[in-house]
Amino acid sequence: MKKFTLILVMMLVYSGFLMAQTIEDFESIKMNDFGQGSTGKTSVVANPDKSGINTSNYVGKFHRAKDGNTYQGWYATLTSPINITTNRYVHVKVWKPRVSPTDFKVEGGAGNSGDTYPMVEASEINKWVEVVFDMTVTQTPASGEYVKIVWIPDFEQPAVTLTDDIDIYFDDMFANNDPAVGSAPVQVIENFEVIPINYMIDDPINDLSYMTLAPNPNVSGINLSDYVMKFNRDKDGLPWDGFWSKIADYSSAIDVTTNKYVHVKVLKPRISPIKFKIEGGPDGVLEAFSTADQTQVDKWEDMVFDFSSMSGAYPIIAFLPDFSDPVGLANDITIYFDDIRLNNDPTPMTPPTQIVQVDMNGATGWTLGARVFISGALGGVYGTWNTPGDNPNNEMADPDGDGIYTINMHLADGVAAFKFFLGTGWGTGDPYSGGDRTYNFVGNANLIYTWGVGGVETSIRDNKAGKIQMYPNPVRNELNVNSTSDISKVIITNTLGKVVGNLVYTNNKTINTTNLSKGLYFVTFVNADGTKSTQKLIKD
């Protein structure tokens, strides 16, 4: 489908349960813009010219700002590396309104490739052409595996001569060991495709409903992905407006023999019934309403559909996200949906939580109370490489003064590159010799790093733990406390410093934590003589 490996059948631990099959997540590699000027940006759009060598439905779009840098482009950190030793040629289809150099780089391996230009530069405009890069002929020949790619599709030097912004399109990035145009891919980097979306609209004259891939309008809660499907719902449409797809021709049929529940994330401006249908298998057709009614508007909600009465593989799916009969709309509305997945758990998803810590003890220049930030290609409210100090969401906290700084984040699944900074600005970065740190986030995570040192620990650390014992940690419903101190009060605060629990302690040895949300907290024990000690606590 896309990326290096087909991830249509995969096993992921996400929000506490097992994901058995990703039917469609509408995602592409994360394209991080740089040098974009005032209006430059990268997105995924419908193919504006389905002709010649590229008739695919979706492509990448690069809006090139006339005031952008000569090197305006984007980079991506890949889940699976490109092996340039095995596959030395990178192929890309491009559509450009002018002739100009293109540039491709690989980074993060045993040295960087540097600027690499096509073996034959594209000389035609307003037409899909394939350019091929030999990654071994630069001044710094590339070899081995690389997890970072850089794409500069309009590398005009020494200065940009544009008087207006332009749009450039690109598609079907892959690596192989054949320099011939039209040769077969070996490692697919990205093709931007999703399952075919066939509209279920019976009245094309009066019903102007349509669907298109779009940026996520609300990167929060259970859905932190970049791209989703947008459904413009015509008020004159029919109750069963939606789409169907024969996914077996594209990937894998849905097998409900073991995994019985389909999950779909939706964001809607009104409450209405939602249906999902599977057909073409041994038990015929089943069109099911969601197991629970929609409860929220303008927020992402995981809707679950029960197919436990059926067995076998089903090649066709259909989705009806607004099944009000009659439709009852006075105006058109916009609905979004994402992440169509199959598993054997009827429980709706909850947001993943990633707790990231960095131990500053012994760091050169660090003093108690100093500010520490994280910045990187983190997405959502955390942004893409914000200058340390500019984004308040990226400041880490050390309220108990043990030198271990913590941030509680909600990140989308995937590889993210990031770095720690002591103070504001770019000149205070972690001196770790490996440069940017990377981690493949999948669901919940508890990570701790040491300033200036490589490697990651997958459990939180607390230098003050042990003076008063509290367990289990992580905790669910009941926290046990074991101490010889005369504790008089227990104060629980979140990572923002807000008090969420203020208890008079009567030596009953337990604290009820049922009402705490999942995440990181600080538990302060106040003794009868006024002395205090604080420990970190994770609510699971």
Q: Which domain CATH number covers 358?
A: 2.60.40.10
57 domain residue, yes or no:
yes
Q: Is residue 251 part of a domain?
A: yes
Cα distance between residue 479 and residue 521, in whole Å:
13
Q: Is residue 10 part of a domain?
A: no
**Residue 260 confidence class, pLDDT cut points 50, 70, 90:** very high
Specify which of 172-186, 351-365, 391-405 reaches the highest per-range mean pLDDT: 172-186
Q: Does residue 464 form part of some domain? A: no
pLDDT in tens, 307-346: 999 999 999 999 999 999 999 999 999 999 999 999 999 9
- Going 180 to 185 to 187 to 193, the CA torsion angle's sign is positive
pLDDT at residue 139 above 70? no
Angle at 294 between CA 293 and CA 295, to 5 degrees: 110
User: In which band, very low, low, confident or very high, does the pLDDT at 374 lie, cut at 50, 70 and 90?
Assistant: very high
Which of 132, 159, 190 is the last residue before a domain boundary? 190
pLDDT at 301 over 70: yes
Q: CA-to-CA distance for 183 and 190, rounded, in angstroms?
A: 16
532 and 443 co-located in one domain: no
Q: Are residues 425 and 484 in the same domain?
A: no
Q: For 353-486, where are the alpha helices, taking DSSP H only? A: none
Question: Are residues 95 and 79 located together in one domain of the fold?
Answer: yes
Q: Is pLDDT of 28 > 90?
A: yes
Q: Which of 457, 480, 502 is the last residue of a domain?
A: 457
Specify whether 72 is located in the same domain as 151: yes
Model pLDDT, residue 13 = 34
What per-residue confidence (pLDDT) applies to 107? Answer: 85
Of 85-99, 190-204, 436-450, 453-467, the range with the lowest mean pLDDT is 453-467
Q: Do 155 and 271 belong to one domain?
A: no
Task: Choose between 288 and 206: higher pLDDT.
Answer: 288
In a domain, 475, yes or no: yes
Q: 163: domain range?
A: 27-190
Distance CA(172)–CA(409), nearest Å, equals 33
Same domain, 185 and 202: no
Residue 6 lies in a domain: no
- For 293, the enclosing helix (H) or strand (E) is none
479 and 448 share one domain: no
Q: Residues 173, 110: one domain? A: yes
In this structure, the answer to whether residues 310 and 264 fall within a common structural domain is yes
CB of 126 closer than 8 Å to CB of 95: yes
**Joined tokens for residue 205:** 């004259």
Gap between the Cα atoms of 114 and 230, Å rounded: 38
CATH number, position 133: 2.60.120.260
Last residue of a domain, one of 432, 457, 482: 457
pLDDT band at 411 (very low <50, low <70, confident <90, very high): confident
Residues 287 and 314 in one domain: yes
Please state whether 88 falls in left (phi above 0), alpha (psi between -120 and 50) or beta.
alpha
Q: Which residues, 6+ apart, have CB-to-CB distance to 289 below 8 Å?
A: 273, 274, 275, 305, 323
- What CATH number did the domain enclosing 480 receive? 2.60.40.3080
Clarify whether residues 319 and 373 are in a common domain: no
Q: Are residues 177 and 206 in the same domain?
A: no
Query: Which residues, in sequence order, are bridge partners of residue 470?
Result: 481
In a domain, 31, yes or no: yes
Q: Look at the chain and report how many structural domains it folds into.
A: 4
Could you tell me if residue 223 is inside a domain? yes
Name the residue with higher pLDDT: 407 or 463. 407
